[in-house]
Chain A
Amino acid sequence: MYLLIFAILIPFIATALIPLIHKRIGAFHIGWFVLLVPLALFAIFVMQIPAISNGETLIQAVNWIPSLGINFTAYLDGLSLIMALLITGMGSLVVLYSIYYLSSSDSFPHFYAYLLLFMGAMLGVVLSDNLLVLYVFWELTSISSFLLIAFWYHRKNSRYGAQKSLLITVFGGFGMLAGFLMLHSMTGTFSIREIAAVLGQYTDHTLFYPAMFLVLLGAFTKSAQFPFHIWLPDAMEAPTPVSAYLHSATMVKAGIYLVARFTPLFGGSAAWFWTVTLVGLVTLFWGAFCAVRQTDLKALLAYSTISQLGLIMSLFGLGSAALHFGDGELGELYGLAIFAALFHMINHSTFKGALFMVVGIIDHQVGTRDTRRLGGLISFLPITFTFAVIGSFSMAGLPFFNGFLSKEMFFTATVNAAILPAFGASTWGLLIPVIAWIASVFTFVYCMVFVFRTFFGTPQLKKLDRKPVEPSIGMLISPAILCIFIVGLFFVPNLLGDHLLKPAMNGIIPGIPGAAPHISAWHGFNAELFMTLGIIVIGTFLFLTFRSWYKIYLIQPAGWNFTVLYNSFLKGLKRAANWITTHYMTGYLPAYFAYIFIFFIVTSGGALIFTGALSIDLTADSPIAIYEGMLIAVMVIAAISMLFAKSRLTAILLNGVLGFSIAIFFVLFRAPDLALTQLVIETVTTALFLLCFNFLPEWTKEDSPKRTKIRNAVIAISAGVTVTLIGLTVNSGRLFDSISGYFEDSYELAGGDNIVNAILGDFRAFDTMLESLVLFIAGLGVYTLIRLKLGKGTKKDEHQ
């Protein structure tokens, strides 16, 4: 039935239940309850494997806002199944690990609520077929990532990292939203499947390339691609389970998922091929190059993640060439890259997850993760050391680990790209395998740094907080399971290849089923094998002689990086915002009214004139009765006398006269609902005025210069004229036919005689709902402004 939709909703429901459960269970660790959620979901998705590997897909749709084309459509194919399995599988391991990792001083309910929120949002991203629904979940992952990075919010670096990640990913997200809207305006639908079916006709459309680049902007910022990679190292301030889960295994792969999902839409064009490939390659190189110099193990893994994401990204770029050729020999040759990308995406989650957990263990057990203080841990942490070796050697692409297989396939893809007979690759194509190879040498070096600086050499126990011992068994289970996968996938890769990778690949490059290879570890003495051998030789040499070529990192001047650019941009933004705000926030109420009214006059009045709607036709109006004229006279007199009122009380009473006269008008024009509302509002407002009376300062005569008075009078009169013109135009001008006839059938349509309420509660219930939300937020705002005054209860450690 609605299995997929419930799979997305379950984490959200569990999030809401966490505070309730937490109160009831006492000393029992809430993590055990949370663990049930990803485990159950993982089981659900595992059960879908047989159907998906047969090439079936699952679609479940629930109407949301059908009139706008927004429906909650869950779509499960090979690609989303891989992602869903990663999200729930890694989620289970990370939750298990975190139970032992977190200290008792941390707030468990917050941590697990954010984590489940993320899990649900991430599942929403990979299972949504509707672009706008996908976008909402996409931003929700950014928000939950923000909350998790800032989990230890008393640290300044955590807050900085959280803000940086949010600003960069949401910036990209906005771009992506614009791209989605462009896709909608081209094709008229928000469904990815429907867009994929028709987008081929729109390649000449002016919006085609803008939409492509904006979608890529979202993908690149999320997946930390160069030059947007700068947020990921700062995100390492999050607790290590979070880094393992969000910032290496799942969330940063959302951008890659998006690229894969949009390959059938945009793939096959030269712009897509070069942008994705080159950005991926540059990221691959730059991440690996920077990782080598890091002394913090987590920073090293962060840069390594950036680099590996670049690798996967470039593979998706290379593989998109297959769509250019279609089914055939060339299509199959280049389609291999897509298969390799999916394979490496899974492999990366296994080995990087294991490595993050290893770093977490080291940090947890000895109190530091600085390579300058570590060393010789092999004799103290032998089990952890084994995990570290398995993870790093897999990452380096060495045999007997899954990383070797996908790395070899990556080399195959780059070597093939050098001879690509399209997109003008013949001139510069050779650079692709060269960059890939150089980056892989650095990858090898930092993998060795990770293992040897930490576990070999002389132990420096005096520099450590605690004497290193192996952690409790619970912390070792999760990395152990991942290591079993790392080794197991090397020996039985085709189990994964046939059942998951093949259907996923067929979804990304439809119509080229022959591109999926039979994975084999040994394929003779070919270029790929020699590339790997070269990496091992050169990499070992570079690792051993690291001190003699270290100076290469000093070439880049200190002030020349993107973080400095980001910081100075934020600083400038703050200064500019401050400058503007101090210039218009005068604290003087008439000034604010002037802004509001001028804006209103310009926009509404301007629209009235420029759309040509302004037309006044009084012939059809009913005559004004005497009592109506008298009522108007009362209102006019009240309004004018208010200007000359000597005391505040008089002004309030005159204002009341105005309000009640309007209510009488509503009665006269037979609008009992409006009349009732107006009367009660007047009553409550009067009560409010009475309450506020005490707090208001002495009523002083306004003493502004004549020029200001004249200016204010002009603004006031223009505002009045605009309103009058709108009122008169509404009654006579007709840009389109009246829609009120529809509402007259409210009894048949909504079962209610009262049209006003049928409109409020049924026809336009969305407006009403949002209005009540606005009212609620306004109420909270008033409460906060009055109750929580700054300087009273604020803590001093705000800026630690």
Chain B
Amino acid sequence: MNINDVILKTVSKAVVLIILTFGIYLFLSGHNQPGGGFIGGLVIASAFVLMFLSYDSETVSDALPIDFKKLSAFGVLLAMASGIAPMFFGGAFLAQSFGYFDLPIFGKTELATVTIFEAGIALTVIGVVVNIILSISEDE
């Protein structure tokens, strides 16, 4: 094994964790601060890409049995479903609502349906980006 590989693998173990945490933070904070579904998804995707770069794709696929094609399809469907749902409650297509709730640990918290929509966007971005990079890298 090449010495550079060892360094890369050791570093990426820690870095992937940090990037993932940062990505999830960006995703959740997007409502009131910089961030959001697209950028959060992109950061999480870059963490996955780093994993695939530093380890070979078989190892990662074993540890992370996700079909990224299906993930992106699920994301699109989730975004659309979150748009259709309000129609059953008298709202228009893609209408979003929000409310403030008192939760046990978090205290007064704002919950918004836009988070579900953003989750759909994030999953689409993760799925598509990782899928593109994987298919290029695995091409013979």
What residues of chain A have their CB less than 8 Å away from a CB belonging to chain B? 2, 62-67, 72, 672-673, 676-677, 680-681, 683-684, 687-688, 691-692, 695, 750-754, 756-757, 760-762, 765-766, 768-769, 772-773, 775-776, 778-780, 782-783, 786-787
Beta-carbon contact of B94 and A766 below 8 Å: yes
Residues of B within 8 A of A773 (CB): 76
Complex interface bits, B117-140 against A, C-beta within 8 A gives 1, otherwise 0: 110110011011101110111010
Q: Given A688-B133, A757-B36, A783-B69, do A772 and B79 touch, yes or no (CB 8 Å)?
A: yes
List B residues 90-119 near A (Cβ within 8 Å).
90-94, 96, 98-99, 110, 112, 114, 117-118
In the bound complex, CA of A568 to CA of B34 (Å): 59
Beta-carbon contact of B137 and A761 below 8 Å: no
Residues of B within 8 A of A775 (CB): 72, 124-125, 128
Beta-carbon contact of A63 and B36 below 8 Å: no
Beta-carbon contact of A691 and B114 below 8 Å: no
| Chain A, Cβ-Cβ closest to B80 | A769
Query: Smallest CB–CB gap between A27 and chain B, Å?
Result: 28
Beta-carbon contact of B39 and A769 below 8 Å: no
Specify which of A684, A766, A782 is in contact with B46 (CB 8 Å cutoff).
A684
| Chain A, Cβ-Cβ closest to B31 | A752
In the bound complex, CA of A349 to CA of B51 (Å): 62
Q: How many A-B residue pairs have CB under 8 A?
A: 154
| Chain B, Cβ-Cβ closest to A66 | B92
Beta-carbon contact of B33 and A753 below 8 Å: yes
In the bound complex, CA of A717 to CA of B121 (Å): 36
List B residues 27-47 near A (Cβ within 8 Å).
30-39, 42-43, 45-46
Beta-carbon contact of B112 and A751 below 8 Å: yes
In the bound complex, CA of A772 to CA of B117 (Å): 11
Specify which of B31, B73, B99, B110 is in contact with A776 (CB 8 Å cutoff).
B73
| Chain B, Cβ-Cβ closest to A688 | B133
> Given A691-B137, A750-B112, 19 more contacts at CB 8 Å?
A62-B88, A64-B87, A66-B92, A72-B87, A676-B26, A677-B38, A677-B42, A687-B53, A691-B136, A752-B98, A752-B112, A754-B32, A756-B34, A760-B37, A761-B96, A762-B96, A766-B93, A782-B132, A783-B131
Residues of B within 8 A of A673 (CB): 34-36, 39
Specify which of A62, A680, A769, A782 is in contact with B87 (CB 8 Å cutoff).
A62
Beta-carbon contact of B93 and A65 below 8 Å: yes
Specify which of A63, A677, A768, A780 is in contact with B121 (CB 8 Å cutoff).
A768
23 A–B contacts, CB within 8 A, in A order: A2-B88, A62-B87, A63-B90, A65-B93, A67-B92, A72-B87, A673-B35, A673-B39, A691-B136, A695-B136, A750-B112, A754-B30, A757-B35, A760-B36, A760-B38, A773-B76, A775-B125, A775-B128, A776-B124, A776-B127, A776-B128, A779-B128, A787-B139
Q: Given A673-B35, A684-B49, do A63 and B87 touch, yes or no (CB 8 Å)?
A: yes
Beta-carbon contact of A681 and B69 below 8 Å: no
Query: Smallest CB–CB gap between B24 and chain A, Å?
Result: 14
Beta-carbon contact of A786 and B139 below 8 Å: yes
In the bound complex, CA of A768 to CA of B94 (Å): 11
Beta-carbon contact of A778 and B128 below 8 Å: yes
Q: Please list the 6 inter-chain residue pairs (A to B) with the smallest Cβ-Cβ separation, ordered nearest first.
A: A751-B98, A779-B128, A672-B34, A753-B32, A761-B114, A765-B94
Specify which of A688, A756, A780 is in contact with B69 (CB 8 Å cutoff).
A780
Residues of A within 8 A of B75 (CB): 772, 776
Residues of A within 8 A of B32 (CB): 752-754
Query: Smallest CB–CB gap between A586 and chain B, Å?
Result: 24
Q: Which of B26, B76, B87, B94 has the most CB of A within 10 A?
A: B94
In the bound complex, CA of A783 to CA of B73 (Å): 13
Beta-carbon contact of B114 and A750 below 8 Å: yes
In the bound complex, CA of A783 to CA of B136 (Å): 8
Residues of B within 8 A of A683 (CB): 46
